[in-house]
Chains A and B, each alone.
Chain A
Amino acid sequence: AQKITQTQPGMFVQEKEAVTLDCTYDTSDQSYGLFWYKQPSSGEMIFLIYQGSYDEQNATEGRYSLNFQKARKSANLVISASQLGDSAMYFCAMREGIGGSQGNLIFGKGTKLSVKP
């Protein structure tokens, strides 16, 4: 079973509108961390936002926010006021806690976001 599932291979959004990228995860750990990364066409991995499993509030970083629904095991990324420069691949990732991870991240397959002018 996949640990991280991103069900949207591709998404389109109109410039200046908001968009939600879906991510569900599977873990038996009580402690874990969830990350979102952006990968533009140039290839680098850019950290966007982090949510800890014990964080009571949804994480926010500028135009990025994380809609964390623990019971549903979902950690959707919301980008508000989309910009053309937001066009990229977006990866959801998880770091498990006691469950054995040495700190490595487990990635989903990604969602390709295209922002239309």
Chain B
Amino acid sequence: NAGVMQNPRHLVRRRGQEARLRCSPMKGHSHVYWYRQLPEEGLKFMVYLQKENIIDESGMPKERFSAEFPKEGPSILRIQQVVRGDSAAYFCASSHSKGQLNTEAFFGQGTRLTVV
């Protein structure tokens, strides 16, 4: 039973390019959360999605960032016109239901984005 799969593990982009980060949740999970981890920091919530719906994007920057979770295929976090400050580790987590208090969120291994 594969866990949460994120790819790529490492991504290097030049300033101004687009970054696409993919997340395939665990089998049977329909809830996906994206988090960003800046160096020496904890994870910060960005967006919560269910299939074909954005439920909560309160942690997403208003510009350049978007996320989707289509009916088929992985969830995508897209960053347009990347800047150096976007360099971070981006984690995806999935759960089988809306985050009830004790629902464990299973994390992927993260994508480390470096903007040069």
Contact = CB atoms under 8 A, between A and B. Distances in A.
Interface of A: 4, 31-33, 35, 37, 42-47, 50, 52-53, 91, 93, 95, 97, 101-110
A27 to B, nearest CB: 12
Interface residues of B, number: 31
A105 B101 contact: no
A110 B42 contact: yes
Contacts of A109: 40-42
B64 to A, nearest CB: 21
B45 interface: yes
Contact of B42 (A44, A97, A108): A108
Nearest to B91: A45
B46 to A, nearest CB: 9
A43 B92 CA distance: 13
Given A105-B93, A109-B42, 14 more contacts: A4-B42, A37-B107, A43-B89, A44-B108, A44-B109, A45-B43, A47-B107, A52-B101, A91-B43, A103-B48, A103-B100, A105-B35, A105-B45, A107-B44
Contacts of B95: 103
B42 A102 contact: no
B107 A103 contact: no
Contacts of A53: 101
